[in-house]
Structure 1
């Protein structure tokens, strides 16, 4: 059964900034998911508030990444995949038949676990790659301004401004991940999904990504999957704890403000997980 707790601001995260008009609230309603006959999620409901970071935590194999992919319609790319339920962005159904899939992915962007810049493409062109995919045309001056703006927001501009024509694949792992964040921001998403964005990075790069998340949340709603409990405590305003037990599909055991989830969880399984007793 899903339980929730009263809202309090986590001590390790700043209070959510006043929501920009472009920020979106993402709501999942009774999401179930299958790969073929295998059910991997069971009736997951969660509201991811505008102007906040929501962390999805839980052991491997409990459906967190599948849930994340459902939020921007990537799940349906898998031939055997199916789902039930609704995903709403400010009350509008992302899976409505009249909505183009490219529109859904423009509004709900994605940063993956492994940095995936186009290796032979320049830093400049990597940043703008999403514009071509979404059919957006812009003047050279507009493109130049957008590159600087997005690389600055991703915390990368000062490091690469003198070598924008160098290949993106020549950057370090942490820089490549920030380049991918910049690429996602260039299409002006209202929500940014992050699937373990720091799992392949060293501590210094991880800290820089976390700083970037803290800076970005005033402009884009963020949902992050992480196995790092310290990271979840540092960066998020609310957490949702996923669990799949004894061969059952993944479900949310408990969700609520991060401070309450770590210090006053309602379910003993949540307490065991966030304090490292399993998972």
Structure 2
């Protein structure tokens, strides 16, 4: 397993974080006038959004409107694409994560990512999947400390009771829903302030989806969560705030409306928002 593989999975950390062993508060993310390009094609236009600490913000909108691109910008994955360009700022608790003085590993440790398709490292056990970030950065923990981290993170991800007696079995042998919760546990092991989720339930059955949603709500008190979802019922169930993205034909994605989820679904200010959340397009 290469450093690049681990980095792409969001399982990176830095050992010299000042709060690496102590409590921390969920971070507030703020995008300011973010525009994005792939080559000559502009895909986002001046998107500004505050994602408050300790809350769940859902990014909704039809396919192709830039939601996932925006999500990847929030932990500097956009820059991995050779043709990608970016304008604007992304602030975590007031500090620009794109400041040249901010190391990529530091940004990724503070802002974790869970992808649409569960991606446990197939050659690693359940236990080693959770501790992968520690290995990557050379962070030294005693065996008992690692045991505590694994139990804590699997418990927070709602998986401990299901796998506690088989931690040495391959992570890839778990069911799809369990694999996704393992990926959540892996992200939590490096103690992020923010957790980004790109359609984490799209490939899961209703039972697994329900368990992931329960996990999201349980985590939200101490980890800021930003989730991309096409499921309007899910957005209404799990999120505190919503942002509705839309891209007209041939134009880049923009935010049409954002605010408290209850208000967005019950009394949206823009007719296009009303049409979308009520299933009239998209």
Give per-residue Cα distances to partners, 1:118-156, cap 9 Å, x unaligned. Answer: 112100000111222334221111100000000000000
1:25 touches 1:89 (CA, 8 Å); kept in 2?
yes
Q: What is the rounded CA distance, in whole Å, between the counterparts of 2:138 and 2:90 in structure 1?
A: 24
Of the structure 1 ranges 231-240 and 133-142, higher mean CA displacement relative to structure 2 is found in: 133-142
Higher relative contact order (CA 8 A, sep 6+): 1
**RMSD of equivalent CA atoms:** 0.8
Task: Say yes or no: does 1:258 pair with 2:258.
Answer: no
1:86 is displaced (CA, Å) by 0.2
1:21 is displaced (CA, Å) by 4.5
The residue that corresponds to 2:173 in the other structure is 170
SS for the counterpart of 1:99 is coil
Q: What is the rounded CA distance, in whole Å, between the counterparts of 1:70 and 1:246 in structure 2?
A: 23
**Structure 1: stretches of 5+ with no match in the other structure:** 1-19
The residue that corresponds to 2:211 in the other structure is 208
Task: Say yes or no: does 1:104 pair with 2:107.
Answer: yes
SS for the counterpart of 1:97 is coil
SS for the counterpart of 1:265 is coil
Aligned residues: 260
Under a length normalisation based on structure 2, what TM-score does the superposition of the two structures give? 0.91
Q: What is the rounded CA distance, in whole Å, between the counterparts of 1:21 and 1:123 in structure 2?
A: 26
The residue that corresponds to 2:157 in the other structure is 154
Task: Say yes or no: does 1:71 pair with 2:109.
Answer: no
Task: Say yes or no: does 1:221 pair with 2:224.
Answer: yes
Task: Say yes or no: does 1:240 pair with 2:225.
Answer: no
The residue that corresponds to 1:10 in the other structure is none
**Structure 2: stretches of 5+ with no match in the other structure:** 1-22
SS for the counterpart of 1:166 is coil
Q: What is the rounded CA distance, in whole Å, between the counterparts of 2:209 and 2:187 in structure 1?
A: 18
1:102 touches 1:134 (CA, 8 Å); kept in 2?
no
Task: Say yes or no: does 1:141 pair with 2:150.
Answer: no
Give per-residue Cα distances to partners, 1:147-180, cap 9 Å, x unaligned. Answer: 0000000000000000000000100000000000
SS for the counterpart of 1:231 is helix
Q: What is the rounded CA distance, in whole Å, between the counterparts of 2:109 and 2:221 in structure 1?
A: 18
